[in-house]
Each structure stands twice: as structure tokens, then as C-alpha cells.
């Protein structure tokens, strides 16, 4: 028995995606920049992939920059746009619940003298658009608010924020890595000037992502060495990965309405049954959340212990972000939502995906009940060792 409930960390490659990639890993091995026919074949795959991604976003192909993943897309957006606009201003406005790909990119800019206004969130992990309006000043060049949070799944009012940014004359970056595949991605409706995507979160390959860069948005490349991606990302393109990513994004968009409703129903029963267990409380917004995301804090339990215990029961879960495993610091997202550090240590994230069904929900709830009983019982069974 094995249940995978960590789709926010990564997802398995879909067979259709692998099939689409295969020719570009074998016979169409060319370099898209080559003059000859073999190169042109690779270029064809890359161009079609770019068109497909652009179409999914309501964007132009030239506005799509393929990157080595979502983290690179965030880095390029924050550092690239902040530097390019630095003659005009050096002030950034960023939500306090961004992924570390954003917060640590911002931290690097702060070392160069950029200043940041960190946006608070409410107890559900949502940014108030009014806060964005008051945070944007004369020298603000860039605002970054994620579409949906990776730890608690809360969906942000990005379209409202986008309109405010346009009015305030600041660029708007949206990290849509977790939202893609579940929420509409029309960049005009969102008011996004920059938008980050990742392949492996939506059943595509790892090591590929994309940054949407609205035409006319100046960007300082973070990687030098070639004219690829319109001089915004040097290096020979990872053609097969771009093809797979585009295929995965297309499939996700096509199936979004149907699969989203199915997952939302599963999520709701998962949340209801988990929250009925003693000491388990939901984190994030009860309804304004990703259809696949359920997140909790659990009284008196270390999240990492619980996840290890669930793994031994055949349930693959997470404490929150896969990138902070082994860290002593509680989640910055939960702290920003006002949770006490002791409470935040007991976090558990369960994220559903295409392969999951009602049985998985049942098995997960049963395993959690079993493990929690043991963890709580054992805490009392063994007396504290007397100190010397």
C-alpha cells in the first residue's frame, strides 16, 4: 500500500508527456541555434512548445522565456526586473508568504541597497489588496505576490492586486508555480507583467519552467553567454524538457475544470475527516484554496516526526515546503499568518493529484489517526529520564 499525497512537492511525469519528449531526446537531438536541418527540427519543437505555453497564458510566444525551473523563473523575474528598473527606483513590495525562491532573491537585492516593504497576510494567509495600494510609493518598481501559496494553498486576489500595480506604475510579478493547472492563467486578466511557471508541478519534467515577460518589460539577464531566449536566458535550450512542459501545461489546461472539481471534492472530504481527529486544525483559507491542497497544524506533534511516521505507514506527505526539510525554523508562512512557533512546528501538508481517489483519503485519515494515537500515547508511557 502506498499513497502519494505530496503533489505540491512534485508530480509523476504523464505518459503522454514522456511520449512527446522522446523524439527530442533521441533523433531530434539538434541544437535549435544550428543552421542545418537537424538543428531546424529541434527549433521546430522549441517554437511549438513556446507557442503552446504562450497560448495557455493568453500571451505572445516572444513573451515566454524558458528557464531551468520555477526557482530560476522567480530569480530572473525579481533580480532581472529590479535591476533593469533600478534607475527609476529601488523599492520592492513583496508578500511575506512568498516561496523562498522569491524571498531569497529579494534578500540578495537588499544587499545591493534595494528596500523592501513586506506585505502582511491575514490569518488565512491572504494579502489585502488595500495594503498593496498603500505600500506602492513613488520609487516602487516591482510588486511580487504569489498566485496560490505552496504551503497552505491560499489563493491570493491577484487580479485586484494587478490592477492596483498598473495604477501605481509598478511591475507585477506573479509566482504561479503552484496555481498552474488549477487556476486560470490569463496574464491580461491577472494584470501580470511577469509570471513564473514550473514543469514538474503539473506532471511535466523537472528542470524546466518558464517566465512570462510582458512585451516592453526590461529585464537584466541573470545568465550570460548566448543570444537564446531573446538574450534573456543564455544557454542551449533544453528542447525535450520544454516540449514536455508545454505538453503537460496543455493537458492540465484542457482537463482543468473537470479535474479541479474532482480534486476539490476529495480535498473537502480529506479536510473534514482530518479536522475531526483530535488536535488537528486546518490552516489556510477554508474555501479560497487550491483544489488539491489540504494543510493542518497538529497539537503537540513535531511535523517532521508525523511525516516520517506516515511514511512508514505508506503515506507520502510533507510538513509544508520540501525546501525547508531539516530546518529548525518553523514555516515563515505559518508565522506570517500569526501562528505561534510551537504551533507552527506541528504542520502537515497533504496535496492531492491525478492518481488519488477516495480510498487514498480513507487510508490517509486512518493512518494519521493510528499514528497520532501512538505518538500521544507513547509520550506518556515513558517517564521523563531524571536528570543527574
Partner 1 sequence: MGRVVAAMSGGVDSSVAAALLAQDAATSGDEVIGVWMRLHPDRGEGWEASRSCCSPDAADDARRVAQIAGIPFFVLNLEREFGARVIDAFADGYLEGATPNPCQTCNQYIKFDELLRRGLAAYGAERVATGHYARVDKVGQQYLLRTAADADKDQTYFLWVLDQEQLAHTAFPLGELTKPQVRGIAADLGLPTAHKPESQEICFVPAGDYRALLAERRGYDGEPGPIVDAEGTRVGTHTGYAHYTVGQRHGLGVALGEAVYVREVRPGSNTVVIGSRQEVAAQQFAVDGRRFVAGEPPAERFAAHVRIRHRAPAVRAEVTLVGDERFAVETAEPVWAPAPGQAAVLYQDDICLGGGRIARAQ
Nearest approach, Cβ of residue 13 and partner 1 (Å): 23
Nearest approach, Cβ of residue 250 and partner 1 (Å): 32
Nearest approach, Cβ of residue 241 and partner 1 (Å): 23
DSSP string, 85-99: TTTT--EEEEETT--
Q: Could you give the residue numbers annotated as active site? A: 323
C-alpha cell of 195? Answer: 509570471
Q: Which residues 356-375 are close enough to bind partner 1 by CB under 8 A? A: 371, 374-375
Distance (Å) of CA 57 to CA 211, 226, 228, 319? 11, 26, 21, 31
Q: Using the rule CB under 8 A, which residue among 186, 329, 340, 359 binds partner 1? A: 329
Give the other-Cβ count within 10 Å of 263's Cβ: 22
For residues 151 and 321, give the distance between their C-alpha atoms in angstroms, rounded to a whole number.
6
C-alpha cell of 203? Answer: 506532471
Stretch that binds partner 1, among 81-89, 131-139, 169-177, 305-313 (CB under 8 A): 305-313
Residue number, 41 or 103, with CB nearest to partner 1: 103
**Torsion from C-alpha of 242, 245, 246, 247, nearest 10 degrees:** 120
Q: Is 1 in the site for partner 1 (CB under 8 A)?
A: no
Stretch that binds partner 1, among 130-138, 203-211, 227-235, 321-329 (CB under 8 A): 321-329
Q: Which are the contacts of 110, defined by CB distance < 8 A and separation ≥ 6? A: 116
305-336 per-residue burial string, b: 16 or more CB within 10 A, e: under 16: ebbebbeebebbbbbbbeeeeeeeebbbbbbb
Quickly count helices (H) and strands (E) in the chain.
Answer: 14, 12
Stretch that binds partner 1, among 159-167, 197-205, 207-215, 297-305 (CB under 8 A): 297-305
Nearest approach, Cβ of residue 56 and partner 1 (Å): 30
Q: Using the rule CB under 8 A, which residue among 13, 34, 60, 100 binds partner 1? A: 100
Nearest approach, Cβ of residue 29 and partner 1 (Å): 32
**Torsion from C-alpha of 262, 9, 143, 340, nearest 10 degrees:** 100
Binding mask 102-141 for partner 1 (x = CB under 8 A): --x--xx---------------------------------
Q: Is 226 in the site for partner 1 (CB under 8 A)?
A: no
Residue number, 108 or 218, with CB nearest to partner 1: 108
Residue number, 160 or 313, with CB nearest to partner 1: 313
Binding site for partner 1 (CB under 8 A): 100, 104, 107-108, 302, 304-306, 308-309, 311-312, 323-329, 371, 374-379, 381-383, 385-388
Amino acid at each position: 500500500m502506498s499513497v502519494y499525497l505530496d503533489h505540491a512537492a512534485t508530480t509523476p511525469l504523464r505518459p503522454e508527456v514522456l511520449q512527446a519528449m522522446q523524439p527530442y531526446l533521441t533523433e531530434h537531438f539538434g541544437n535549435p541555434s544550428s543552421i542545418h536541418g537537424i538543428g531546424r527540427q529541434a527549433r521546430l519543437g522549441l517554437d511549438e512548445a513556446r507557442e503552446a505555453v504562450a497560448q495557455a497564458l493568453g500571451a505572445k510566444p516572444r513573451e515566454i522565456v524558458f528557464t531551468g525551473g520555477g526557482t530560476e523563473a522567480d530569480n530572473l523575474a525579481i533580480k532581472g526586473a529590479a535591476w533593469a528598473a533600478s534607475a527609476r527606483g529601488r523599492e520592492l513590495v513583496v508578500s511575506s508568504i512568498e516561496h523562498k525562491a522569491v524571498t531569497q532573491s529579494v534578500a540578495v537585492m537588499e544587499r545591493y541597497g534595494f528596500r523592501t516593504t513586506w506585505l502582511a497576510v491575514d490569518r488565512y494567509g491572504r494579502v489585502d489588496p488595500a495594503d498593496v495600494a498603500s505600500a506602492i510609493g513613488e520609487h516602487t518598481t516591482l510588486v511580487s505576490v504569489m498566485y496560490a501559496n505552496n504551503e497552505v494553498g491560499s489563493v491570493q486576489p491577484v487580479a485586484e492586486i494587478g490592477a492596483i500595480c498598473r495604477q501605481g506604475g509598478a511591475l507585477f510579478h506573479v509566482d504561479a508555480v503552484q496555481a498552474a493547472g488549477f487556476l486560470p492563467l490569463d496574464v491580461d486578466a491577472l494584470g501580470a507583467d511577469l509570471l513564473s511557471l514550473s514543469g514538474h508541478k503539473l506532471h511535466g519534467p523537472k528542470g524546466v519552467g518558464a517566465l512570462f515577460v510582458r512585451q516592453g518589460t526590461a529585464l537584466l539577464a541573470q545568465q550570460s553567454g548566448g543570444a537564446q531566449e531573446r538574450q534573456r536566458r543564455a544557454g542551449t535550450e533544453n528542447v525535450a524538457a520544454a516540449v514536455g512542459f508545454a505538453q503537460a501545461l496543455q493537458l492540465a489546461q484542457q482537463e482543468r475544470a473537470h479535474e479541479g472539481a474532482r480534486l476539490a471534492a476529495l480535498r473537502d472530504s480529506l479536510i473534514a475527516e482530518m479536522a475531526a481527529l483530535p488536535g488537528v486544525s486546518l490552516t489556510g483559507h477554508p474555501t479560497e484554496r487550491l483544489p488539491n491542497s489540504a494543510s493542518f497544524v497538529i497539537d503537540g506533534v513535531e511535523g517532521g516526526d508525523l511525516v516520517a511516521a506516515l511514511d512508514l505507514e505508506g503515506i507520502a506527505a510533507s510538513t509544508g515546503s520540501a525546501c525547508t526539510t531539516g530546518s529548525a525554523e518553523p514555516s515563515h508562512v505559518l508565522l506570517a499568518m500569526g501562528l505561534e512557533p510551537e504551533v507552527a512546528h506541528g504542520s502537515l501538508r497533504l496535496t492531492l493529484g491525478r492518481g488519488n481517489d477516495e480510498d487514498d483519503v480513507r487510508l490517509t485519515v486512518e493512518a494519521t489517526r493510528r499514528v497520532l494515537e501512538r505518538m500521544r500515547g507513547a509520550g506518556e508511557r515513558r517517564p521523563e529520564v531524571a536528570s543527574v
